[in-house]
Amino acid sequence: MTKKRDFFSISSLSLEEAKHVLAVAAKMKAAPKGSQLGLLPGRAVAIVMEKASTRTRVSFEVGAAQLGAQPVVLGVQGSQLGRGEPIKDTARVLSRYCDLIVYRTFEHSKLIEMASAEAPVINALTDDGHPVQVLCDVFTIFETLGSIHGRRVAWVGDGSSNMARSFVEAARIFDFHLSMAAPEGFRPPADEIAAAGKHLSITADPREAVKECTVVNTDVWTSMGQEAESKRRLEAFAGYAVTEDLCAKAAKDAIVLHCLPAHRGEEIDDATIEGRRSRVWDQAENRLHVQKALMAFLLGVA
């Protein structure tokens, strides 16, 4: 029996495998609707959400159906997870019904526990990373700019967030430079900064960070689970908003990304998210195509 393949972080794939998944995604995006129904017939995908989700839930659910698989969505409320059934027991049972588990949770250790059973597990966001989103964002950069290798990509805002941390990992793997503007106290963990080496620079000055960048990227200042800190965070991130004025300091024709949901008027303003640089709606659509390719790859049919 071949070993199951989980997707915990971007480095769960080799660079070649990641590029292969992105190439399959491009083909899937270009193909007519309904043409991939024969890829995963008779299979089932469990989508377990312990935090709110719109894009991730819908794109995995629709994506699984478009591959011919049956998606099953479970929340904490309404499942036995909410009544304290151990994750490892849930994982064992889900593995008897389903061929793949997509899991959004808090601590990364819970994701690892979910992967203790037979079915492969995809990280659909933990407190430590959001690798499917960032893999999809790399696809959007390839699609829009033709390449990512050697580029300067800016990260402005919460450098300690799950999104920022997955971007730090992606910089090393896809060989681009992540130019981060983040206040002291809101930066990636020291070991992740060290692992990124020359692929990461950090400043407290957003104008400095976006210089020569062809991508300007941000995310909310208060991630899910941090709501009690939101006042302190609003104060800490004052001056870190992605605006037209800030983007004018980036490379000419720089694009703007945001994984969404956005808090317009906080980390990004209305004019920028609606403006000519914004690729956020294509970015959201690409979740569907890339995650379909990832599911097909992990299940050995792409």
**Site residues, ligand NVA (CB under 6 A):** 125, 130, 161-163, 219-220, 223-224, 259
Question: Which residue bears the tokens 């389903």?
Answer: 98
Instruction: List, by residue number, the catalytic residues.
Output: 104, 130, 133, 219, 259, 287
The answer to the question of residue 260 lying near ligand CP (CB under 6 A) is yes
| CB 263, min distance to ligand NVA, A | 10
Q: Which of 54, 116, 147, 203 binds ligand CP (CB under 6 A)?
A: 54
* Binding residue count for ligand CP, defined by CB under 6 A: 9
Q: Which is nearer to ligand NVA, 69 or 163 (CB)?
A: 163
Q: Which is nearer to ligand CP, 259 or 294 (CB)?
A: 259
For residue 214, the partner it binds in ligand NVA, ligand CP, none, with Cβ less than 5 to 8 A by kind, is: none
- Smallest CA-to-CA distance from 263 within 157, 166, 180, 129 is with 157
The residue number with the shortest CB distance to ligand CP is 56
For residue 54, the partner it binds in ligand NVA, ligand CP, none, with Cβ less than 5 to 8 A by kind, is: ligand CP
Q: Which is nearer to ligand NVA, 172 or 258 (CB)?
A: 258
Q: Which is nearer to ligand NVA, 201 or 230 (CB)?
A: 230
Which residue type is seen at 159?
Answer: G
| CB 171, min distance to ligand NVA, A | 18
Which residue type is seen at 190?
Answer: A
The answer to the question of residue 55 lying near ligand CP (CB under 6 A) is yes
| CB 177, min distance to ligand CP, A | 23
| CB 54, min distance to ligand CP, A | 3
The answer to the question of residue 259 lying near ligand CP (CB under 6 A) is yes
Site for ligand CP in 110-149 (CB under 6 A): 125, 133
Spatial distance between the Cα atoms of 254 and 229, rounded to a whole number of angstroms: 32
The answer to the question of residue 36 lying near ligand CP (CB under 6 A) is no
Question: Which residue bears the tokens 């995006």?
Answer: 29
3-state secondary structure string across the chain? CCCCCCECCHHHCCHHHHHHHHHHHHHHHHCCCCCCCCCCCCCEEEEEECCCCCHHHHHHHHHHHHCCCEEEEEECCCCHHHHCCCHHHHHHHHHHHCCEEEEECCCHHHHHHHCCCCCCEEECCECCECHHHHHHHHHHHHHHHCCCCCCEEEEECCCCCHHHHHHHHHHHHHCCEEEEECCCCCCCCHHHHHHHHHHEEEECCHHHHHCCCCEEEECCCCCCCCHHHHHHHHHHCCCCCECHHHHCCCCCCCEEEECCCCCECCCECHHHHCCCCECHHHHHHHHHHHHHHHHHHHCCCC
The answer to the question of residue 165 lying near ligand CP (CB under 6 A) is no
Q: Near ligand CP by CB under 6 A, which window of 13-21, 26-34, 52-60, 247-255?
A: 52-60
Spatial distance between the Cα atoms of 171 and 40, rounded to a whole number of angstroms: 32
Q: Near ligand CP by CB under 6 A, which window of 50-58, 105-113, 195-203, 267-275?
A: 50-58
The residue number with the shortest CB distance to ligand NVA is 223
Q: Which of 9, 56, 95, 140 binds ligand CP (CB under 6 A)?
A: 56
Is 182 in contact with 159 (CB distance < 8 Å)?
yes
Spatial distance between the Cα atoms of 292 and 289, rounded to a whole number of angstroms: 5
The footprint of ligand CP (CB under 6 A) covers 53-56, 125, 133, 259-261
